[in-house]
Structure 1
């Protein structure tokens, strides 16, 4: 009996510790952002959100995040396909390098882009001769977003390809379907949930990226100033309410994306 009671107490204490940890590190900061944004009332919040610089920063962030997500979907799907379907020297190394953006500090990623594509680099110098610049302009921001969100689509697609029943693919070929038709009607539908969830996670991550972007963006209002850098600038200017208001926009959008991801995964598990 004492053993059972101790087990129950241990289980209750463990659950309570986990819940307390979750509340302190996740719930309270989120509540703090929302309360800080509305601390002065609805009118100042609306003024902060509709400020021209803030709105332009948010719209630019969404636009560039969409561009980076589309590129990640195309590249990530192809890379995931190659890593699962083909065997070649260095495959395991390449597969392990996919997760490098998760382990590498984002500021280091931004520095790498700056060194490789900056005005003094070979690529940057060639681009300058052709009449366009990469670093401190939108292309560099997109590249930084692609770098930090690179693994999401790949890791979303790979498990689905591994689980794919090859007998369905072989049956399609036996019935006379071409490789293209088999891919579009048999393989691609199986990959689609992973592509969608990976794309949404990549988009949500790109919205909030700061470390890699701040080093390569020109931070010109209306042109290269993105939302995360704008928020940082507002905090430095001691306008925490304005920074929190813009943060709420990004946070709410991320919540909607997270809900959509969970819905896609739930439908996939329900099949």
Structure 2
């Protein structure tokens, strides 16, 4: 289980998540993503970052089983802090971040992809935020960057998912490709960006963040406040216990 970061070629750095079986990141994983992205942006040789994953899907969110195995509120506090820092690191990374999404992208996965500058996805990829089923709130900030306002509310309240192809129709996913072409497509866009003057691209990233209509970092922190309330009330624990009791085993 790891987060790795290596220069792929010519200023394009790949940050890869590998937490089998479903890339549900434990607390340490979220902090590791934040550290890897932050270090990539601070490296003057890095011109573009491709955030990708190994395995069955891009990301299944927070490791709820780890959270429920921990007494008190330490796990939820750490997970929320880790997610906040990971999403913030991607959004504020001085160079563009391309999310290469394979398979499922759920909960915190939408936070990762929605914080990125470009999304490329496989034909079988789908996105969703099932937070209300887990007694939490969050990543609506990032889902709102992918879909129109009323569809956001429908997806959020129902925990429904949406396909990459549908998101491509909205313009939020740049390209949908067969699974075996995902890396090729993501790195092709990365190469195109990396070929530009990095001084201009870094300035453009900062400028585009500055004109966003919503402060993504503060907006997500607002959402997290309601997650803390639901945990203090005991609602979140009840729903997470139900999830753990009915979730398939890792072997399955």
TM-score above 0.5: no
Q: Which has the larger radius of gyration?
A: 1
Higher strand share: 2
Higher helix share: 1
When normalised by structure 1's length, the TM-score is 0.26
